Amino acid sequence: MTETASPPQAPAPAPPRRPRLPVIPGPLETAALAWRRLRRMSTALLLLFALAAASVVATVIPQEPVTARSVADWRSGAAGPGAPVASVLDALSLFDVFGSPWFLALTVLLFVSLTGCLVPRYRAFARTLRRPPPAGRNLSRLSHHEVLATTLPPGAALDAADAVLARRRFRRRRVGAAGEQLAAERGAWREGGSLVFHTAFYLLLLGAVIGKAFGFTGQITLAEGSAFAETRIAYDAAEPGRYWGLDDHRGFVVALDDFDVSYFPNFTPRDFVSTVTVSEQGQQVRTERIRVNHPLRHDGMTLYQLGFGMAPHLIVRAGEQVLLDERVLLTPQEGTPNLWAGTAKVKFDDLRRQLALDLALVPNAALGADGQPVITADPRPTNPVLVGSLYFGELGLQRPVPAAEFDRGDGPVDTAMLRPGATAELAKGSLTVEFADLGYWSGLQVSHAPGRELLLLGGGLVLVGLLPSLYSYRRRVWVQARAADGGAAVTVAGVALHRKAAFDDEFAAIVAALRAALPSATPPTQER
Amino acid sequence: MADESLAQTSNTLFNVAFLTYIAAMVAYFFRLAFTRVSADGAIAGTAAGRRIGLAGTALAVAGLAVHLGSVVARGLAAGRVPWANMYEYSSMLALGAVAVGLVVVQRRFGYGHLVGFILAAAVLSMTTGLLLFTEAGPVVPALNSYWIKIHTSAAMGSSSIFIVGFAATALYLVKDTAERRVAARSGAAFAGSTVGAAQTTPVDARPEGYEADAALDDRDVVASPLAQREALSPVLFPLVPGVVVALFTLLVWRAPGGAIVAGSVAALLGTAAWYAVPFLPPAARLDNLAYRTIAFAFPLWTFAIMAGAIWAEEAWGRYWGWDPKETGSFFTWVLYAAYLHARSTHGWRGRRAAWVAVVAFGALMVTYYAVNLWIVGLHSYAGDI
Ligand code: HEM
């Protein structure tokens, strides 16, 4: 459509002497030229292809926001095409395609192009809507036409035809000096739907931008019996939007009262549920259950159930002094189902005499022939065994690295195997470790996602607009009546502006409906 | 939960349906072979062809019924919707494609002689299903949501229709090539293919790509239909699909045996397409069928993506995270949108638009198989519970 808008540019007359040098267009001309280019349908098509190409790249190359670990492996050369290639990919922002400047530029271009397309189409659409259905001429020359005879006088016959076409949602008007023709048109909403649909993309964009700029997402792991305050420092990981400030945190306190997981007989988790109590200013306001697919919404924040894990309660003492008294969060071990592991940093104030425990837990252990616990397929903690390995010395625990990474040096100085409620002595009795009980931790995601309503509205409009833009067709129909012996001769004719193949049947249906609405005059003598 | 005997019944019915479809496919291809084309392009079946065609239809309908039984039994056995893993999903895709083939292509459009190709696609899909077989079992809690049921059923429905759209597009490209070559050989009596839609001046000031239909009426078939077959290379037809499918299978499954089987089936299909060229509906009609099916599936696919985003928001707390699966569906969607645009862009209508649709279908396959089996196998699937 916009295709036709720009006639081929006449080549600017070049200065005769230096034919090589192009005439440099002024900034306004350049802008006008660029605008015309952007408005072309073929430009839109190329932009769509570019968008598709970007997403292929993002499917094949790991993306940092999604699979950070794979990206790290590609960067180090441990996986993927090797470190040198990875550095090139990095330079092109290919590890974060959707956050890259060139993707932003592509989006902007697409929306500029969209605007360029839509503005003239809106004008044309408004014109179409205002313009009444055009009068038909030479109806009997049209490929679809039919003459019916009726006993009704011409005026009444046209009224009846008007009712028939109204039922079929045609816009109608009377034309001719005496109103002897009924001109009707339908299908304008094909274009209208397309406009709604394309316009809805602005809403989607706006919703996404608002969500990104003013939103917040954070993850937290919470052991049973503990609580966190909704503040920035509480989160293990957080992704605040650019305009999400520290003051925007709500400050309410969420306590994990209980966590429960149930399994199917084949040990697939059936459901996991966190029971939490939310308090505000020291007042408990509500107690709710958070399950997968059933988040808790509170004060503009939404809490989702993500993962869970085992959290044994450990008490480590040196004589009477309690060095550690907390639930240690264990994580599942990749590749070994039903093995949970973690690290307890017991003491790290004295750099040379640090203490740490490596922990491994089997929730439902069978005892092997050698007295060692054996992992079973049952994930339920009905017979848990905890193995703790003690490390002592210069462990480097003070470094800001994940707890599991410390200097294990010559290996553990001692090892103990515990069941819930048991206490073991370590390092010749200088330490005792008590496995007080076994609980769970729950992984929650907390997020604030403004713009969701806009996205929903935009999505809805995309669908609402898409349907007529694909399935409604423009048709014009004319009905003309002329007095003929005692009644009227009614001529019906029509043309299809799109999808002509389907019009034969539609026209036949209209004619049939007209025939039913007009008292029949065939054979005319019978009625007399 | 998983009821053993019901699950067993489901598997048996699946196998019966699979074999029935194969038999139906063979019958449909025979029907194609017994079709005669008169010089003016009118298609008439011989008596034997009609009988075999009826048998094929009966077999396909029976297969569909048995297949439906298999799916229902599977759902009952697992105690949930029967489309939660790739085996079930492949089965549902085949079911949908056969249903669309019978109801839309055969009944509405009257192109019964194309159903063999759609059955072949269904058989291929069920074969991958067998390769990906999973016991009937419950699903993890994240998948246990109302929205994911809506999301997956919309995705499956639209994918099955896209399969039919792809079959029509591919056959259109074949037929169009043949028509052009024949026209070129018989001189300029016939300016371009019947999808002169690509060239004819549109009747409307704003062409929508529908002139394809209009151009049909004044179509002029010049050369003998059988000349169309002779105009095409009998070597490339099995070769190209065979190699493409074999490579794809090799890349995604790393199974040389499977690649050989899938490649041979594709090669066979290519040969069937070559053989069928004279009996295919005119290119303009195939183009129209392709457009109609894709235009039907597109809003459904759009809806599927939206429902997926709503579900992701409920389950994971983010509606869109650009993970490989989401990116892949978006990529497919953009390409189908590009196809719809191409059909109303000068210089893109006709063959070029059809190639966009072919690429878009490739994207759908990559999103479905490669992302699930290969890309995710390569990268850890963060955030997935
Ligand atoms: C944001 C990306 C876009 C998407 C996803 C999109 C998608 C679509 C779809 C699905 C259709 C319906 C096709 C049909 O009616 O047959 C359509 C039609 C159309 N689009 Fe877009 N579009 C986008 C951007 C644009 C842009 C940037 C332009 C302008 C250059 C544009 C111009 C048009 C026109 C003129 C039509 C009407 C064609 C017709 O009615 O046949 N679109 N678009």
Q: Which pLDDT does position A402 carry in this prediction? A: 74
Beta-carbon contacts of residue A63 (< 8 Å; ≥ 6 apart)? A71, A95, A96, A97, A98, B322, B327
Residues A267, A321 share a domain: no
Does B144 contact A at CB distance below 8 Å?
A: yes
**Residue where a domain terminates, one of A125, A151, A176:** A125
Of B142, B214, B345, the CB nearest to A41: B345
Residues A367, A275 share a domain: no
CB A385 within 8 A of CB A416: no
CB B173 within 8 A of CB B355: yes
User: For the residues B268-278, what does the mean pLDDT come to?
Assistant: 87
Q: Is the pLDDT of residue B198 over 50?
A: no
Confidence category of residue A319, pLDDT binned at 50, 70, 90: confident
Tally Cβ neighbours within 10 Å of residue B363. Answer: 24
Q: Which pLDDT does position A271 carry in this prediction? A: 85
Atom from ligand 1 closest to the CA of residue A38: 30
Handedness of CA A378, A381, A382, A383 (dihedral sign): positive
Q: Which pLDDT does position A129 carry in this prediction? A: 87
Produce one character per residue of A30-59: b if its CB has 16 or more CB atoms within 10 Å, e if not: eeeeeeeebbbbbbbbebbbbbbebbbbbb
Residues A121, A34 share a domain: yes
Kindly report, residue by residue over B302-334, the tens digit of the pLDDT.
999 999 999 888 888 888 888 888 888 999 999
CB B62 within 8 A of CB B20: yes
Beta-carbon contacts of residue B296 (< 8 Å; ≥ 6 apart)? A470, B161
In a domain, A245, yes or no: yes
Cα-atom radius of gyration of chain B, to the nearest Å?
21
**Strand partners for A435:** A314
Residues A328, A297 share a domain: no
Q: Is the pLDDT of residue B205 over 60?
A: no
User: For the residues A74-92, what does the mean pLDDT come to?
Assistant: 83
Six token digits for residue B214: 């209009």
CA closest to B146 among chain A residues: A293
In a domain, A256, yes or no: yes
In a domain, A14, yes or no: no
Cβ of residue A110 lying under 6 Å from some atom of ligand 1: yes
- Between A11 and B224, the higher pLDDT residue: B224
- Which domain does A253 fall in, by range? 212-308+445-460
Q: Which pLDDT does position A16 carry in this prediction? A: 53
Q: Which pLDDT does position A316 carry in this prediction? A: 93
Of B139, B327, B379, the CB nearest to A55: B327
CB B287 within 8 A of CB B300: no
CB A65 within 8 A of CB B322: yes
Amino acid letter for position A454: L
Confidence category of residue B50, pLDDT binned at 50, 70, 90: confident
Q: What is the CATH number of the domain that holds A485?
A: 3.30.530.50
d(CA A106, CA A47): 7
In a domain, A201, yes or no: no
Six token digits for residue A425: 């002595």
Which residue in B4, B319, B320 has the most chain A C-beta atoms within 10 A of its own C-beta, making it the best mutation to test that interface?
Answer: B319
CA closest to A62 among chain B residues: B379
Q: How many helices (H) and strands (E) does chain B have?
A: 13, 2
CA closest to B208 among chain A residues: A498
Cβ of residue A1 lying under 6 Å from some atom of ligand 1: yes
How remote is the CA of residue A198 from the centroid of ligand 1, in Å?
Answer: 7
Does B103 contact A at CB distance below 8 Å?
A: no
Q: Which pLDDT does position B335 carry in this prediction? A: 95
Q: Which pLDDT does position A471 carry in this prediction? A: 86
Q: How far is A50 from chain B, CA to nearest CA, in Å?
A: 10
Q: Which pLDDT does position B191 carry in this prediction? A: 43
| Residue-wise DSSP of A385-427 | EEEEEEEEE---TTSSS-TT----TT--SEEEEE-TT-EEEET
Confidence category of residue A434, pLDDT binned at 50, 70, 90: very high
* Chain B, window 311-330: residues with a beta carbon less than 8 angstroms from a chain A beta carbon: 311, 313-324, 327-328, 330
Put simply, the answer to whether A499 touches B316 (Cβ < 8 Å) is: no
d(CA B383, CA B372): 15
Kindly report, residue by residue over A28-79, the tens digit of the pLDDT.
888 888 888 878 888 888 999 998 888 888 888 888 877 777 888 888 887 7
Q: Is the pLDDT of residue B278 over 50?
A: yes
Tally Cβ neighbours within 10 Å of residue A272. Answer: 23
Q: Which pLDDT does position A374 carry in this prediction? A: 82
How remote is the CA of residue B158 from the centroid of ligand 1, in Å?
Answer: 20
Task: Give start and end residues of each alpha helix (H) in A61-170.
Answer: 68-76, 83-91, 101-130, 154-167
Residues A299, A321 share a domain: no
Put simply, the answer to whether B375 touches A463 (Cβ < 8 Å) is: no
Six token digits for residue B217: 């009426």
Kindly report, residue by residue over B119-132, the tens digit of the pLDDT.
999 998 898 888 87
User: For the residues A222-249, what does the mean pLDDT come to?
Assistant: 90
Within its chain, how far is the Cα of B1 from the centroid?
34
* Percentage of chain A lying above the pLDDT 90 cut: 40
Cβ of residue A44 lying under 6 Å from some atom of ligand 1: yes
Residues A318, A434 share a domain: yes
Residues A110, A47 share a domain: yes
Q: What is the DSSP letter of A233?
A: G
Confidence category of residue B169, pLDDT binned at 50, 70, 90: very high
- Window from A100-109, A175-184, A201-210 with minimum mean pLDDT: A175-184
Residues A317, A429 share a domain: yes
Six token digits for residue A143: 């490929």
Task: Please give the order of strands across the beta sheet that includes A487-496.
Answer: A144-150, A487-496, A475-484, A181-186, A171-175
Q: Is the pLDDT of residue A15 over 60?
A: no
Confidence category of residue A96, pLDDT binned at 50, 70, 90: confident
Secondary structure of residue B225 in the 3-state scheme: helix
What is this model's ipTM? 0.81
Residues A409, A357 share a domain: yes
Q: Which pLDDT does position B42 carry in this prediction? A: 57
Task: Tell me the average pLDDT of chain A.
Answer: 86
Q: Which pLDDT does position A21 carry in this prediction? A: 58
Put simply, the answer to whether B144 touches A292 (Cβ < 8 Å) is: yes
User: For the residues A205-228, what does the mean pLDDT come to?
Assistant: 92
How remote is the CA of residue A119 from the centroid of ligand 1, in Å?
Answer: 13
How remote is the CA of residue A54 from the centroid of ligand 1, in Å?
Answer: 19
Range among A263-277, A509-523, B36-50, B347-361 with highest mean pLDDT value? B347-361
Task: Tell me the average pLDDT of chain B.
Answer: 80
In a domain, A207, yes or no: no
- With both helix axes pointing from N to C terminus, report the angle between B115-131 and B47-78 in degrees, rounded to the nearest 10: 30
Q: Which pLDDT does position B228 carry in this prediction? A: 81
**Strand partners for A183:** A173, A478
Q: Among residues A499, A16, A452, which one has the least CA distance to residue A211?
A: A452
Q: Which pLDDT does position B114 carry in this prediction? A: 85
In a domain, A8, yes or no: no
What total of structural domains would you count in chain A? 4
- Window from A346-350, A362-366, A440-444, A516-520 with minimum mean pLDDT: A346-350
Kindly report, residue by residue over A390-427, the tens digit of the pLDDT.
998 888 878 777 777 788 877 888 888 899 999 998 88
Within its chain, how far is the Cα of B328 from the centroid?
18
Cβ of residue B223 lying under 6 Å from some atom of ligand 1: no
In a domain, A465, yes or no: no
Half-sphere exposure (Cβ direction) of A315: Cα atoms closer than 13 Å? 12
Residues A323, A239 share a domain: no
Of B140, B318, B324, the CB nearest to A268: B140
Residues A342, A396 share a domain: yes
Residues A416, A318 share a domain: yes
Which residue in A216, A499, A505 has the most chain B C-beta atoms within 10 A of its own C-beta, making it the best mutation to test that interface?
Answer: A499
Q: What is the DSSP letter of B373?
A: I
- Between A206 and B38, the higher pLDDT residue: A206
Confidence category of residue B98, pLDDT binned at 50, 70, 90: very high
In a domain, A22, yes or no: no
Put simply, the answer to whether A52 touches B322 (Cβ < 8 Å) is: no
Beta-carbon contacts of residue A78 (< 8 Å; ≥ 6 apart)? none
Of A45, A58, A499, the CB nearest to B348: A45
d(CA A489, CA A491): 7
User: For the residues B28-46, what does the mean pLDDT come to?
Assistant: 69
Q: Is the pLDDT of residue B212 over 70?
A: no
Amino acid letter for position B183: A
